[in-house]
Structure 1
Amino acid sequence: MNAHRSSTVVRAEEVVFHPFSLPGFTGGTSAAFLNTDVATAPFVALLRLEPGAVLAKHYHPKAIEAVYVLEGEMINAGVALAKGSMVSHGPGVAHGPHRTETGCTLMFIQYPGVGPDDSVFID
């Protein structure tokens, strides 16, 4: 046990969503970044997609990623994933597009050492 490190704690009342987009995003999207200090824990973010929003097909060069559907329904590569569903993949694995017809909130967990800009979009 390393006594010099502490846990990362984010309380529900501290979670604030802000407009957020990358070049491969279309439609309304906003994000809350729960952990960006990847020296101590995986990168964790919440992403809200408004009805009709799309994240283009992409991959992450370094990241292992898990995407958990917290609310609504995400359609991943044509497959509907309801609340409570998850999709995960390793580095370099193309995935998506992610889209929603009804709106959804997703939790993204990426490891190791990546941030919100570690996405390579595929035409």
Structure 2
Amino acid sequence: DRLAKRARSLDVEIGVTMGLPLAKDISSEDPDAGAAGRQMLRDAVAAVRDIGGNKLGGILYSAHTKYNRAPTRTGWMNSAEVIGEIGDLAHRNGIDVVLEVVNRFETNLLNTTTQGLRYLS
């Protein structure tokens, strides 16, 4: 609350970036990892809201790590489902979700603009 008030008084916007660990990878086919990632992202939206932030970004759609395999269709769909839910939650809280498209050494899901645009559709 203090941070939110201070940011408002300075006319400063707060954005938060993060990545998911493997144990909370929403692109995983492991339902426990997916559920843990979903909860971590819900908690992140709440935290950004509580500090007066308006942006949550980063590698939110999979773990922030180098994978030794290509993403699976199931993993892609798991990720898209959770991000859709988190996007709706964030929108209701006045927060923009910013998905960072990164190189293959940081994730295997979204490495190109084409992949990023396809993911959004």
Normalising by the residue count of structure 1, what TM-score does the alignment of the two structures yield?
Answer: 0.35
Normalising by the residue count of structure 2, what TM-score does the alignment of the two structures yield?
Answer: 0.35
More strand by share: 1
